[in-house]
Amino acid sequence: MKSNAVFYHAGCPVCVDAEQSLAAALDPSRFNVEIVHFGDQPQRVAEADKLGVKSVPALVVDGQVFHINFGAALSDLR
Amino acid sequence: MKSNAVFYHAGCPVCVDAEQSLAAALDPSRFNVEIVHFGDQPQRVAEADKLGVKSVPALVVDGQVFHINFGAALSDLR
């Protein structure tokens, strides 16, 4: 069974770099990678907050939150 | 040709989580992933510094530095 990975971002340059180089680098045979852009799906900010996401870009792999560099604070996206 | 990814860490709990969940998640058909533990290879701190690594754990993919969460500052490892 594949693991789920969700990459949350807000379209910032730091986010786009991380999406292209890191989220896209995950092994597709082991991970279902979902990309969530808060500009398109603002209602999912609350979900990310619950998972423990403090800033974007962030990658959540099986419930573990990895904050990657720093683009913007989640609190600034509400 | 495969891309090179280097995961720099210092054995901290935050580092180990990132190694197991993120460095290990990269697609092995596209990336040569090298794990560098500064405890074992302290001489490579200077190399990481030159690449722009400010803290560990960090993953460098094709020269792009991604700081993942925060375990320790590179300056504390010298």
In this prediction the ipTM stands at 0.91
Q: pTM for the whole thing? A: 0.93
CA distance, residue B68 to nearest chain A CA (Å): 5
Q: Which regions of chain A are under pLDDT 50?
A: none
- pLDDT above 90: residue B1: no
CA A56 to CA A14: how far, in whole Å?
A: 9
Q: Give me the residue from A21, A26, A69 closest to B25, CB to CB.
A: A26
Ordered alpha helix ranges (H), chain B: 13-21, 45-51
Q: Which residues in chain B are closer than 8 Å to A69, comparing Cβ atoms?
A: 65-67
